[in-house]
Structure 1
């Protein structure tokens, strides 16, 4: 089945421009939602962010790595907003890849050198006894707000979008 180009374009716009994801995690005490500032990674499609190790969502990821999330952007022409939902598996970034991931995150999130230097935390914060970790969620399912159908019947529905066309921008 051919995926409509507009669904791929909308998905890529959200992935590249959303900046924040509401991440839903689970623990024995129940569900929890947190908003985190992400940058996208492709091949496979992933979202990267950092959080405190002791944050509730970080602890939940350690115990139950399956997560879901939503990304939305407002102020758009037409309907005024667009949004996506996803599911995936989250994990902390460890090992030799940490320095590269940190550099990518800060370069992508803060393109201006001065701003980046003001926000950059030392790499020691992200391993060993450091208080923070980079996390990545590898997305396994993706849905968009079905804007076309909403314009017909105002029913709030989602349309599934296959991941293969979203791997590369």
Structure 2
């Protein structure tokens, strides 16, 4: 892997990752089920220290059933229209679990506040807590990110090789910009 050039506008991997986590609203999750691999795109918010991605989904959907059987997964986040290069992206691996019913109130509040900061917009999207527990059709899920890689833009600009550079999760998780 080629080293990042000192002074490059793309060398700050924590800042780029933070931008992706703060502004990338969708992640594609790759899961594995009895009938093979499956990819699903979900709307997420990032939680920090440790780095986690919070989303909700129907608990009987294919990816949710896959996660129930095999909670390890891979995923990606990308953004178009970013400053400089115009696009950025990350790939990650992690472990995903449904949020326990007792923890739903906190996760629901945080998810909706981060995803919809405007109270009027939030009210329009807000689903009742009962949708996420008991016989409700949905569950909140948390992906605990184990590893995180960025598109190596410096390498691409140097030799057009499409490679990734791993970001130190400890530095990323303690950024302090999110709960």
- Shorter-normalised TM range: over 0.9
Partner SS for 2:117? coil
Give 1:100's aligned residue: 106
2:69 counterpart of 1:63: yes
RMSD between superposed Cα atoms in Å: 1.4
Contact 2:101–2:132 (Cα < 8 Å) also in 1: no
**Match for residue 27 of structure 1?**
33
Measure how far apart 1:161 and its partner are. 1.0
Q: Indicate which of 87, 93, 98 corresponds to 1:87.
A: 93
* Unaligned 5+ runs, structure 1: none
SS at match of 1:75: strand
Aligned to 1:151: 157
State which of 45, 55, 76 in structure 2 corresponds to 1:49.
55
Determine the structure 2 residue equivalent to 1:166.
172
Alignment partner of 2:131: what SS? helix
Q: 1:76 and 2:71 equivalent?
A: no
CA drift of 1:140 comes to 0.3
2:22 equivalent among 13, 16, 19: 16
How many corresponding residue pairs? 167
2:43 match: 37
Please state whether the residue corresponding to 1:69 is helix, strand or coil: strand
SS at match of 1:38: strand
**Mapped partners of 1:48, 1:18: distance in 2:** 13
Cα distance between partner residues in 2 of 1:35 and 1:59: 15
Structure 2: 5+ residue stretches without partners: none
> What is the TM-score when the length of structure 2 is the normalising length?
0.90
Deviation at 1:17, TM superposition (A): 1.0
Name the SS of the counterpart of 2:127 in structure 1: coil
2:132 maps to 126
